[in-house]
Structure 1
Amino acid sequence: MTLIRNLMNDRWAAASIFVIAITLLAGAFAPWIAPHDPFAVNMKLRFAPVSWQYWLGNDHLGRCVLSRILYGIRPSVLWVLATLAVSVLIGSAIGFVAGYFKGKTDAVLMRICDVMLSFPGYVMTLAIVGMLGPGLEHILLAFLVMKWAWFARVIRTSVMQYSEADYVRFSKAIGIRSRSILLSHVFPRVLPDIAVISSGSICSMILQVSGLSFLGLGIQAPHAEWGMMMNEAREVMFSRPEFMLAPGLAIVIVVSAFNFLADSLQVALDPKLMTRSIRRRSKEVKRTSYEYIRG
């Protein structure tokens, strides 16, 4: 409850949560709220300008841009979130085991993570897409293969920090099972760290999916995706820039919302950062009041 209250008191966090919630709902209910069929081709409306019937105009095949942006939320955000959740789940399980039990278990698991992390993320993604062929599912598979090791490494560090606490040692001394200790004492304290790194990672994943789709390696036509929509609008990017602007703004807004949320989560979960933030805002208020009085 304290976390939620701190986030709601932060204007940027509240705005970010609102934008993310609206985006997810719009993507989930796209078939019901999209004004037109996103796959319907009408060459008479090719590159038609903005109108009351088509709020964002029509693309090179006369399809409704607004409807395609709404449908594009699914591959650009919803499927990326699902992949992130699976990666975090796998990484958390390995990180908890390695950080809590330590010893040979930790050494073996971390060497596997080191091997996975030795490959650059973009290179590994391109290699998997090159072997399996273009497609959103192959990009998401590459994320799944690469991201879990990074999450495991980060979460292991947090688990090791909390597993050395006195209350955990006392629980071990009185014979409480390791599973109960992990679920009752360690997991609640590591969960905020997981939330912060997850909200930060989603931004890079969305950008990578859009970038690869822009290059033609992601989702294929006729399905809608923001990066692919920008690629389709390249031929008129100077004469009709609004067709690239719409999906581009969608990417910027969603990624910015997740970025602001990650920063706000970090401040809300760290008392030191919260104190600094309050002091900074207090100084800004005092400076503004002083300038107002002088003026």
Structure 2
Amino acid sequence: MKIPRGDRAGRDDTADGLRSAIYRGAVVHHRTWPRRHHLRYRLWTLLLDLDEVPALHRHLRCFSHNRFNLLSFHDADHGDGSGRPLGDQVARLLADARVDYDGGSIRLWCMPRVLGHVFNPLSVYFCHRRDGMLCALVHEVNNTFGQRHSYVVPVPDGTPPDAVLRQHCAKRFHVSPFLDMDMSYDFRVAPPGDGMTVAIQARAPDRAAAVLSASFIGRRHALTDTELVSAWMAHPLLTLKVVAAIHWEALRLLLKGVGFRRSPPPPARAYTLGDPVPGSAPAETRL
């Protein structure tokens, strides 16, 4: 059943008239075991309100939806890969996961295609009810084998809109050949505002400290042609940079003696249901 998503649901328009935005910042990875390893890369991302995406071409010359451009967003790069409207896919996913979603706005944090190419290791859907409150986050993970899996985590009723969200999931999807499958993820997410943070810790059952910590911290910029071109000029080969960085860091780990793990088949179900962690922090204590 199609759940309608009202175009005014969860509205918090900014001065530029759009809920969608650019977030420029940096990704940091820190590994503690079996070898210490650290990396930091600057990059930029988009926050796209899925209700706004089909009409963004009216505001932007260098950005298109489901068409080639300098920068573009394609529904087929997410969800089940079918290219069907992504908002409808997410609504069905939430219904299947029994999340209390009533058709509010869905905002996707991701990287766009650059000259037709994209690879998103992680994208996050911020799913709102019609009253503007978050009801769930969907963490969509891609690996370099062309596979995709989502972690769906409900947001408890009454959670303050500016709270840092703490969430937990069992690992069910192979991503890195340098990490075991018998692990869990701890997410900490400061929802988009003037800034945003997405942080993940991968934990092993036999170790007290996180095996791997990864985070993105960024600042909001208006979604305009000027800002998009500025971001593109700072990182003109964004997709190539991400893919090259993954393989370069893999080589560095091999040289440090970190062994490969075999890639298991992907899980039969397209998503794993996670759990919110009790307690939240106000905005001033964000990551």
TM range (shorter): under 0.3
Structure with the greater alpha carbon radius of gyration: 1
User: Given the two structures, how large is their TM-score scaled by the length of structure 1?
Assistant: 0.20
